Amino acid sequence: MAKEHNSASSQHGAVKKQTSAFKHVELERERPHLTRNGFENNASDEHRTPRRRSISKGQKNPASKLRIIPLGGLDAIGKNMTAFECDGDLILDDAGLMFPEDGHPGVDLVLPDYTYVLENADKLRGIVITHGHEDHTGTLPYLLKDLDCDVPIYATKLTLGLIECKLAEHKVKNAKLIEIQPGQQVKMGCFTVDFFAVNHSIPGAVGIFLQSPAGNVLHTGDFKLDQTPIDGVTTDFTALARFSDIGVDLMLSDSTNAMNPRFTPSEAEVGKALKQIIGQAKGRVIIAAFASHIHRMQQICDAAIENGRKVVVTGRSMIQNTDIARKLGYLNIEDHNLIDAYELRGTPADEIVIMCTGSQGEPLSALARIANGEHRTIEIEEGDTVIVSATPVPGNEKAVTRVINSLAKIGADVYDKSRAQVHVSGHASAEELKIMLTMVKPKAFMPVHGEATHLRAHAHLAELTGVPPENIFVMENGDCLELTAEGIERGEGVQSGIVFVDGLSVGDTSQSVLDERNTLSAQGFAAVALAVDFKNRRQLGEIQLTMRGITGGDDAYLAEEALYTLTGAVKRCLAKDGGPREVRKIARDALLSLLWERTKQRPMTVVNLIEA
């Protein structure tokens, strides 16, 4: 597996991934039992209040050491993964991915380097998934294929539903999925893990309170303090106060909106805006949103029905997640209010709301295909209304703008966040983060889930709320914190970095390959073919030259000058007894030098040498 290592202690190069044979067994889901976890056997409501188990403060073991190792999530909004290791036991919190940036041409997905987890697979007692977003679940199929053990995966009902679908796509059949609920406590090796409800942009989100012989850690997961949530589930302040009373030696917390002052608006505000826009729309309404934003989907459906419209769902992930959410009871809409996209013909335009993918401008998404006139069943017309109900992920702004411009040219009335409150974040802003810090009262703090600027801003908020500066740790992926009865300090880091998924290849795409692709896209390509008789020190026949994507590359004079330059350079090299290596180098250097002088371009240049 070729990786780009971000840690200074890591070495570049190929690292072979561990592989294992799979047992072909059905997906297994275990429900908690009354006698063990305080729940009834046939419990179905994820958000009811469970019977509490008493938690003793206990005594720390002076000989124990808890290692906290972030493997992803500290250099970007994505690929979240953190390992906790103590007394020979290891648990993993989240296993997410990140989508490629502009500098990753041809790459489909970006994963964290989880080599450390594979090297310590015998210690792995469980994987905890805080919620169902891709940046917290997307690496699971790849990790499970490489683990030589049947590790249990703990998550709430909706999260497991999304994970099951993802694993089925990857033909992973040996996963051991265990459903948990907020308020539940689970023992994993020497760890005791309490799950508590948090409000986020997807149902079933939880944070974790982890107790170990060396100390206690609270991880908030992704959260906001929305007091008027769509599903009625708020962040569990009672649990947070209880954990604070027990004692939180270290807190890890979501930093995404740490630079945003004040509070994040309630998701309910989006519903008000959607109802107003749909109510005044004359033609069809097309709404693009994240396929995992079940709360947003519910508000779209409610606004459509209230305005006498039916809902059409299009886009593979949107259809898939809608089915899962309805089946599990998280999305409420009756069958008669849904219309298949293939049955649209003949339905009046002012009776339709189309819910689709494409809020990030993805070229193959439903919205992009609609905008380009390439969708099989949906054609946009002048007077239709389009709502982009999301904020572009950094790097996607240009793609989103292109789609919006295409829609505007057709005559669509386009709404985005700049025009109306059609989107709010699912992450806590600065004032909410300070409330969380004040409530938990951690002895030490480590900001997570963000870029460097977000982590620094969150660290400053922690200092403002009373966390001692010496106990605030802004880390990088692969770094390590060590918690003992004596306190907390930095420890020895582990291998870290990123792994590229490129088609069917996982980890085989190196940075050098990406550099070559970027050069091809930006500078063009030149190929030189020549035959040389090294015994008699002479060139055979004429040099063949092909240039593509080079300014003036089709100019006959430039091609003639290039051939003249190449012939002279090869002749001089042979006269000096140059071998094949020297001939290739001099030919390449001569061509690049000429092209830079004439075009100010340095294309990818390949010299094919035939030795006679």
Residues 6+ apart with CB under 8 A from 371: 380, 403, 406, 407, 410
Q: What is the model's pLDDT at position 32?
A: 35
Q: Which fold has domain 268-415?
A: Rossmann fold (3.40.50)
For range 534-541, the mean pLDDT: 87
Q: 598 pLDDT exceeds 50?
A: yes
Cβ proximity of 313 and 326 under 8 Å: no
What is the CB neighbour count within 10 angstroms for residue 544? 12
The mean of the pLDDT values for the chain is: 86
Q: How confident is the model at residue 599 (pLDDT cuts 50, 70, 90)?
A: confident
Side chain identity, residue 555: D
Lowest-confidence region among 6-15, 65-74, 568-577: 6-15
Dihedral sign for Cα 8, 222, 147, 210, please: positive
pLDDT of 489-503, one tens digit each?
A: 999 999 988 887 765
CATH number 3.10.20.580 is the correct assignment for the domain at 524-611: yes
pLDDT of 426-469, one tens digit each?
A: 999 999 999 999 999 999 999 999 999 999 999 999 999 999 99
List residues bridging with 386 in a β-sheet. Answer: 286, 414
- One fold for 268-415 and 524-611: no
What are the sequence ranges of the domains in the chain?
Answer: 2-7+64-262+425-506, 268-415, 524-611
pLDDT of 393-404, one tens digit each?
A: 766 788 889 999
Q: How confident is the model at residue 13 (pLDDT cuts 50, 70, 90)?
A: very low
Q: What is the model's pLDDT at position 16?
A: 34
Cβ proximity of 197 and 231 under 8 Å: no
CATH number 3.40.220.10 is the correct assignment for the domain at 2-7+64-262+425-506: no
Rounded CA separation 240/244 (Å) = 6
Question: For residue 414, which of 285, 318, 303 has the smallest C-alpha distance?
Answer: 285
Residues 6+ apart with CB under 8 A from 195: 154, 156, 180, 181, 182, 183, 184, 185, 186, 206, 207, 208
Rounded CA separation 187/210 (Å) = 10
Rounded CA separation 214/484 (Å) = 5
Rounded CA separation 173/320 (Å) = 19
Residues 6+ apart with CB under 8 A from 373: 379, 380
Phi, psi dihedral angles at 13 (to 5 degrees): 135, 180
